Every structure is written in C-alpha cells, then in structure tokens.
Amino acid sequence: MIQPTSGTITPGRSGATQRRQVRTLPLLLPAVILLLLWSILPLLQTILYSFQHYNLMEPPSAYNGGLNYTYLFTDSSTWTAIWNSVVLVAGTLVASIVFGTIIALLLNNDFPGRNIARLMAIAPFFVMSPVAALIWKNLLLDPVSGLAGWLMTLVGFKPIAWFSVYPMVSIVIIYSWRWIPFATLILLTALQSLDTDQLEAARMDGAKGLARLRYIVLPHLGRPISIVVMLESIFMLSAFAVIYTTTNGGPGHATTTLTYMIFIRALNDFSIGSASAAGVFAIVLANILAFFLIRAVSRTLQA
Amino acid sequence: MKPSLSSRVVLAILAWAAAFIMFFPILWMLVTAFKTEGQAIAIPPLLIFTPTLKSFFDATQNAGYLLFALNSVIVSVGSTVLAIAIAFPAAYALAFFPGKRTEFTLMWMLSTKMLPAVGVLMPIYLFLKNVHLLDTRLGLVGIDTLMNLPIVVWMLYSFFKDIPHEILEAARVDGVGPRQQMIHLLLPLAGPGVASTALLSVILAWNEAFWSINVTASHAGTLAAYIARFSAPEGLFWAKLSAASVLAVAPILVFGSLTQRRLVRGLTFGAVK
C-alpha cells in the first residue's frame, strides 16, 4: 500500500504520549483491525491467485509461475482495455473540469433563485449509476424513441444509434453527466471560501472581471481542481455500473475497460488466476494515482 | 462598483440555463414516470398529457421491487450505524489525542479507500461464498460498512477538529471518562457534523452498485442492482422503469440536497471545506 510522506513526526516518546497511546488504543483498534483485514487479506489473496492456474470450472488450482502475467501483457485485448480506461477517465475528467469550473463560477454569482439552481445543477451526482445509465440509454439517446434522435431529425439529421456507433462517447457522456456536478459541488464550495475582501480590493483597484478571474479566482481553484482530478481518476478507474447497464463492454471490446475486463474474466469466465493478475495491475495503477492524492491531502492536514 | 445590470442579467440567464441542462435528464425521467407506456415512447415527445400514477403502481406491484427497496433501506442504514459506531471512538482518539502515529493512521485509512474494488473482487466473493454470506443482507452490510469506514472516520475527524479542545479538557479534569465525554459532550457538540457524515454514508451505500451487483442475486440485492439487472427484460417498459427509478433516487436527492455543502468534507477527505 501507499506509504504517506509524513512531515510532522515528533522525535522521542515522552511518558505522556505513552500514556495517551495506551488510552486511545482500544478506541482505535476496532477500526484499524477491520480496515487491516479488509485491505490486506484480499490483496494478498489476489496476489497469490495471480500466480496460479485457477479456474472455478476446472479445479484444482496450481502454481504456474508468472504465466498469468505473461498472458496479460501479451494479450492485445489487455492493451485495448487499458486504452479504453484511459479514454474514459480522460474524457470524463476533461468534461467535468471544464464544465464543472464554468458552472461553479456561474452559480457563485448572486442571482434570483440561486439556491434552487445550485440544487438542480448538483442533483445528477446523487443519481445512482444504473438509473443514470438508463435515463440516457432509453429516454435520451435511443435512436427510435429518444429525445436526442427526435431533436436531430428536427434539424434535418438522421438519428444516431449512439451505443453502437459511438459506444465510448456515450459512456463518457453518461459519466460526465454524473461527475460534472461533483466537480461543480467541490469547486463551488471552494469558491465560497474565497476571501471576498481580496476580490473587493482588486475591484477597487480597477481590475476588470476577467482579470479578477484570471489572477485571483482561478489560482484559488488550483488546489481544489487538482483534488477533483485525483479523486475522479480513482473513481473512474473503477467505473463499472454504467457499462454493465448499457453496453456490457461491447460492441466487441469497444467499451471494455480494465475494470470491466477483470469483471468478465472473474465472474463470467471464472478464470480467477488471470483476473487476479489483471487485478494486481489495476491496484498498482490506482496506487500510483493514490500516492499523489495522499500527498495533496497530507499537505492540508499539516496546514 | 457592481458589474453592470445587463452583464448580471446575462450571467444569471447562463447560470439558469446550465442548471436546467444538468437537471433536464432527471426532469425527463420524472415526466416519463407519469406517462403511459405508449405515451413514453411517442415521437414527437408528449409534453402535454394527463399524468397517471399507473406506472408507479405497476412498478411497486412487482414483489421483487419491494424486497429490493427494503434491502436498500436495511443495507444503507445498517452499514451507516455500524460505520459510525466503529468510527466515532477512532475519530475521537485521533482528533483529541494526537500522537506520533496519528497522521500515518489517517493516511493509511485513506489509502485503503484507493484499492480498486475489482482488484479484490475474487477473494471477497470467494470468502462470502465460503462463509455462506453470498446474497445476504449481512454480507452486503459488512462490505458497505468497510467500504465507507475510512470516509466516515475522516469526516468525523474533520468535524471533531473544529471543536475547541478546552471543553473536553475541562470535562477530563473533572474526571469524566472517555465514554461519557463522547456520548454527553462530543455527540451533541458535533451533532450536525455527525448527521451529515451519516447522510453521506447512507447516500454512498444506497447508490453503491458494484458490490451489490456482484455479490447479491434475488435475496439481498439493492435497488441499484435491481435496476441494473432488470434493464434488459424491462427495457421496453420505459414508463415503468422510470417510475421505479424515480422512487429509487428520490430519497437520496432529498438527502443530498439537504446537506450538500457539508458532504464536500467527506468527499474530499477534508481537503476542501
């Protein structure tokens, strides 16, 4: 797991801290033990399985060296899946940062009905993924009876069968719809903590709206944006339910991400060894991202 | 010197347009839920129609739906109560008795949240199978508790940090033990924070789909799994599916709206307040 880079370690251990340690240990222990079991045991087991030929349909299992890993990295479908994951994460990130920032800035202004508008803009984040998937798949993007198809015929185009022609774009649209509000919520909260005196002073000094945006507001959003980037990357690497509900990884392998590939190998093929090797790889990838997130959070802890 | 009236009007219109566009898919689902199946797939889309509650009746008539709704309630509330009970003493210890390992402990807890679920799917699945907890509420409650525990500890910790140490210090000097301090001082003092933490935990467990889809079947599935699974056979019944979906997301939309600002702390591990 990740070793956080810690900056404030008090040297030595006085009698007082020792007494404290004794007293707080029973309070901490349940949480710590449970999380240890939850994070370490399955991880070790996944690593163990990844070195075995282990298929639930054909027991028993046997050590097979690094064969699962050799297959993993020589199989072209692995690289397709990794590429799909990159496209999904990057597409959703770009959309949610760009639109999330714009919407947060718009909603931060004072205007009539502001609170209701905020609730409306943030609401999609609270919609569970399978529902989000179905709204888009059936009601909006369906080529025959969907709203988007009807709008396109209105302006003289042919309706598009989104999930067959642009499957990954469709998935990115659905996830963006759920994650733009997340970025909006975080950035709006950050904007509300912006020192209004500073903005007022800049205004007094004659700084125009765009200049204030460029030199005061956007720099203030730098850190929250980086937090959104890291959190969303981690969540989106594990994106599952929308793909499961709409395309099932298809057509072909067009929307099979790394996560979805592991799911199919594990619970469709019951090929535990090869799923575990891919799982270890996904864990390593996520931990690289987590390292940066933890560093950023660690800094706020010390601030 | 305020910005000119016309630019404020333009910005207000843009803000409302953005909010409306984001909300529209939810609105459209809501509208469709009040249509008949025929109206739901009509092209051009019907804007004016006589609303009917038929789809809501049809959707909830299905015995599976009610069971899965009940499962959602039990799993999200059960896992939240457990997570708070386990996290509360831990957050108390971390916030009020910081030692040299406090920061490491917090960071390590955060790091367990980064483990991609799919990477440990097989061990957890096989474990649940071996102890006969596959497709049980208890199994799912356990998973959701552990899944949300780091966030709950962090969020409580963040709220506890805002409480002046002196209050608890004074109680300690008077000989009030940790248990009494937690129940009689900390809980009321941090009440709103604890409530938002519980709400976030309920929201995350209610909306959790990955584990629910993978470790439950017909007995312990939640609404997320119900809707994900029945999408294929009931794909043609849009009004019914919309009604089922409206009922599944409505409570969370209300909860989420009540407390959105405080949720940010939990969602960002205290990094944005």
Q: Provide the pLDDT confidence category of residue A77 given band limits of 50, 70 and 90.
A: confident
Helix axes B121-130, A272-302, angle to 10 degrees: 110
Which among B122, B206, B269 has the least Cβ separation from residue A266?
B122
* Residue B6: inside a domain: no
* Residue B124: inside a domain: yes
CB A93 within 8 A of CB A236: yes
Domain positions in chain A are: 72-302
More confident residue, B50 or B252: B252
- ipTM surpasses cut 0.90: no
Residue B67: give the domain boundaries.
Answer: 53-269
pLDDT of A242 reads 92
Residue range B43-69, pLDDT digits in tens: 777 777 888 888 888 888 876 788 899
Q: Does B255 touch chain A (CB under 8 A)?
A: yes
Q: Does domain A72-302 have CATH number 3.50.50.60?
A: no
Residue range A206-251, pLDDT digits in tens: 777 777 777 778 888 888 888 888 888 888 988 999 999 888 887 8
Q: What is the tally of structural domains in chain B?
A: 1
Cα(B69)–Cα(A81) distance, rounded to whole angstroms?
A: 34
Residue range A26-72, pLDDT digits in tens: 888 899 999 999 888 988 988 888 888 888 777 677 788 888 888 88
Q: Which residue does chain B place closest to A236, by CA atoms?
A: B116
Q: Residue B122: its chain A contacts at CB < 8 A?
A: 45-46, 49, 266, 272, 275-276, 279
The alpha carbon of residue A173 is apart from the nearest alpha carbon of chain B, in Å, by 12
Chain B residues 51-80 with a CB less than 8 Å from chain A: none
DSSP state at residue B145: H
Cα(B152)–Cα(B175) distance, rounded to whole angstroms?
A: 29
CATH number of the domain within which B247 lies: 1.10.3720.10
- Quick one: three-class SS letters along B20-70? HHHHHHHHHHHHHHCCCHHHHCCCCCCCCCCCCCHHHHHHHHCHHHHHHHH
Q: Provide the pLDDT confidence category of residue A1 given band limits of 50, 70 and 90.
A: very low
* Residue B48: inside a domain: no
The alpha carbon of residue A4 is apart from the nearest alpha carbon of chain B, in Å, by 6
Q: What percentage of chain B has pLDDT greater than the value 90? A: 31
Query: Residue A238 — φ and ψ, nearest 5°?
Result: -95, 10
